[in-house]
Chain A
Amino acid sequence: MTVYLLKRLAIALITLVLASMVVFAVLEIIPGDPARLMLGMNASADQVELLRNQMGLNAPLPARYLHWAGGLLSLDFGRSYTYSVPVIDLVRERIVVSLPLALIALALSTIIAIPVGLFSAGRHGRAGDTIAMGAAQLGVAVPNFWFALMLIYLFAVWLRLVPAGGFPGWSAGIWPALKSLILPAIALALPQAAILARVTRSALIEVLNEDYIRTARAKGLPYRAVLWRHALRNAMIPVLTILGLQFAFLLAGTIIIENVFYLPGLGRLVFQAITQRDLIVVESVVMLLVAAVIAVNLLVDLSYAVVDPRLRSRQ
């Protein structure tokens, strides 16, 4: 177990270092000058140069990489070029939207997907299964921004139950803040639930064909108990893997939904920073996300060990 853990940690660290190099190099290659973007079309070349110096953009590339990476080690993420505030402050403002949104969406997705997967697997090949999987297929196929707009027209414009978008901030109270996250969470959760339900179903079907399931049934355990106690637990590994990937996606890959609901989330911060060539923000936020993804994967790896005792004892 310890070796397993140490190996995982070492891989995570190497990934982080490599990722920091790739992220930095890629962003330095793309054309565009943050100083020119800030000053616009009427500023002279001299002025742009002046601002570049002020922003520290004229230092050589390796020096800037070391400065930035060194800062990351001491948890200093640098200052945004355009906003002129520490990047960590920007992230803190956004994470209070993105993290709850991702968690709610993930919870919704799991609550919908696992029962549907169980239901479908239990009725493998019958009408119920076909209908459930057809619905899941639809959930994957429908573009989520369209689905989001339909939700907005129904619940915000027609029924006026929730706001059409925006985020009032947690200072406005838990309920108003939650209310503005409900529709985006549903819009995010549905396609994820559809994928998760399909994975749960196929994993369960595979497990249900195993010999020990027949044995369990043969020794007289009721079908429901077999499904819950033996099958679901053994089918959990692919489901957990998908859940881990989905969480990483929900944290940062939600730019389209954030735009439709004009939520101030992490995805939009990165997108905005890219268009403004606020490179330090992009680089630092991407690194934070890389770290988050690696951490989640590590957790998923550890959770395998929880569901599968064999991994715990393996040296």
Chain B
Amino acid sequence: MKLWKTILTAAALVLATGASALAARDLVIGITLEPPHLDPTAGAAAAIDEVLYANVFEGLTRIGPNGEVLPDLAESWTVSDDGKVYTFKLHAGVKFHDGTDFNADDVKFSLDRARADNSVNAQKGLFAAIDTVEVVDPATVRITLKNPQSSFLYNMGWGDAVIVAPETAGTNKEKPVGTGPFRFQSWAKGASITLIKSDAYWGAPVSLDKAEFRIVTDAAAAVPALLSGDVQAFPFFPDPDSVAQIKDDPRFKVVIGATEGETILSINNKKPPFDKLEVRQAISFALDRKAIIDGASAGLGVPIGSHMSPANKAYVDLTGLYPHNVEKARELLKEAGLENGFKATLKLPPPPYARLGGEIIASQLRDVGIDLQIVPVEWAQWLDQVFTKKDYDLTIVSHTEPNDIDIYSRKDYYFNYDNPTFDKIIADLNLTSDEAKRMTLLGEAQKILADDAVVGFLYELPKVGVWDAKLEGFWENAPIQANDLTKVKWTE
């Protein structure tokens, strides 16, 4: 065996000399899903932002590593006293990657395009409050809102609100042109997307010369890709079960952070018997979050008691409201007249958190007499049957959009939840900009959702980041789904 290894290693050396060693300022990043196209303003797929956000495209504002709003193309802004007029002062000397100048006209174009009647921007709601966008001078934009909106600056930091140029907006899907520190170089479909440093960048220059996003679809292939050195970073590592193995390897850094993904057991609130509060509460008591987290996320998730990330300032710990209690669950079912239990279906989309978590939840609910039939579905089916047609009893899904507690107040949303008190709080929240008042309102909102046991709140999806120990500057948390490479560098 030893001789064999010597021979083979010698052969390896001969072969390896033919391959070019990676230059120290290049980086290969593994991503698990390929973006369908490269225009962040024209699709909901997180994979688009994971490649382009902050790297190629920039907005008026941007979201920082901890979810804070930072200035981006707008260097500063003022807000009128009634909270309705925002005046943005833009950076000077900014150029798009095709060499054209960036100015206030591009801002007006981008925002008007996103909110136009025929717009297919996936987050059109972000722009709903905008009444007019005016160009004051080439470096100043004035945006007037229909009503004050406390989240407006945050909204302008989404990937869906990035600034594009009129000349290239139509071709960004294939050949994205932005103002960011990296420009697009090539896309080998199914294999990789390559960005290179933009020398004409207006801001602080980035350390990397080249960043290649390599598409590694199979979770089992992620570990060998890292170990062989083909890929040097997986900011969203797809295989939590292998984390222990990699943690012991000094060549790699493993960083467990928080996402904005509230993983929940969604309940169809209008469908009997789930329209009864006792039944929903019984389900909450029947759930053993620890067992679910251990089984479905390798013990890495953080339990939640309502729809808010524990990393958020407004978070209120409500996990103690429904401790795991089988007796209590049975009692509540009895009160609801279901002492003999009942049958229901549990539709599970493809991600492991749903498929693995679903098995565990089904067995936990069986302990209190609820007999679940598991129905695995694809995403397309899930969106069609569960989300659009609301043809479901229970399902498991992670709501990954940031600050999305307002989904419970949306008319016709798939939870089928309707509570005027809650709707009022969300409406007030939208009009409140005082920080302390906002926190109080968000706290109340969380409390109502927990009291009503609208859904089974499970855990916050962890962000498992794995990268070469010589790399630094990656985001630890994922306040939005992005791989901001602007601060990433090799330390030697």
Contacts and interface: CB of A to CB of B under 8 A. Distances in A.
A31 B191 contact: no
A165 B45 contact: no
Nearest to B216: A262
B124 interface: yes
A164 B190 CA distance: 16
Given A40-B44, A261-B221, A157 B37 contact: no
A83 interface: yes
B16 interface: yes
A156 B124 contact: no
A163 B12 CA distance: 12
Contacts of A162: 15
A93 B9 contact: no
Contacts of A175: 18
A85 B174 CA distance: 9
A90 B15 CA distance: 32
A276 B120 contact: no
A31 B220 contact: no
Contacts of A107: none
14 contacts: A31-B380, A41-B399, A42-B122, A43-B123, A45-B388, A84-B37, A94-B190, A160-B228, A164-B230, A165-B230, A264-B188, A264-B215, A269-B190, A272-B190
A43 B387 contact: no
A176 interface: yes
Nearest to A163: B230
Given A42-B122, A262-B221, A166 B191 contact: yes
B190 A38 contact: no
B9 A276 contact: no
A103 B381 CA distance: 36
Interface in B386-416: 387-388, 399, 401
A160 B36 contact: no
Nearest to A268: B190
Contacts of A83: 36-37, 173, 189
B214 interface: yes
Nearest to B126: A42
B22 to A, nearest CB: 12
Given A84-B174, A165-B224, A262-B216, A93 B383 contact: no
Interface of A: 30-34, 36-45, 47, 50-51, 54, 82-85, 90, 93-94, 145, 149, 152-153, 156-157, 159-167, 169, 175-176, 179, 259-265, 268-269, 272, 275-277
Given A84-B37, A169-B191, A260-B218, A37 B11 contact: no
Contact of B379 (A37, A152, A160, A179): A37
A271 to B, nearest CB: 9
Given A44-B124, A165-B221, A262-B215, A36 B384 contact: yes
B120 A161 contact: no
A33 B120 contact: no
A137 B18 CA distance: 38
B12 A264 contact: no
Contact of B380 (A37, A51, A263): A37
B24 interface: no
B23 interface: no
A164 B290 CA distance: 36
B219 to A, nearest CB: 10
A149 B224 contact: yes
Nearest to B215: A262
Interface string B357-372: 0000000000000000
B379 A275 contact: yes
Contacts of A50: 118, 120
Contacts of A167: 188, 191
Contacts of A263: 190-191
B12 A161 contact: yes
B228 A163 contact: yes
A55 to B, nearest CB: 10
Given A175-B18, A276-B36, A54 B120 contact: yes
Interface string B189-233: 111100000000000000000000011111011001101111000
Interface in B115-151: 118-120, 122-125
Contact of A40 (B45, B224, B225, B381): B45
Nearest to A94: B190
A40 B380 contact: no
A261 B122 CA distance: 32
Contacts of A166: 191-192, 214, 216, 225, 230
Contacts of A264: 188-191, 215
A36 B8 CA distance: 52
Contacts of A272: 34, 190
Contacts of A54: 120
Contact of B218 (A41, A44, A90, A259): A259
Nearest to B28: A166
A264 B174 CA distance: 17
Lowest 9 A-B CB distances belong to which pairs?
A40-B44, A264-B190, A32-B380, A164-B228, A82-B36, A259-B218, A264-B191, A156-B228, A164-B224
A51 B120 contact: yes
A39 B173 contact: no
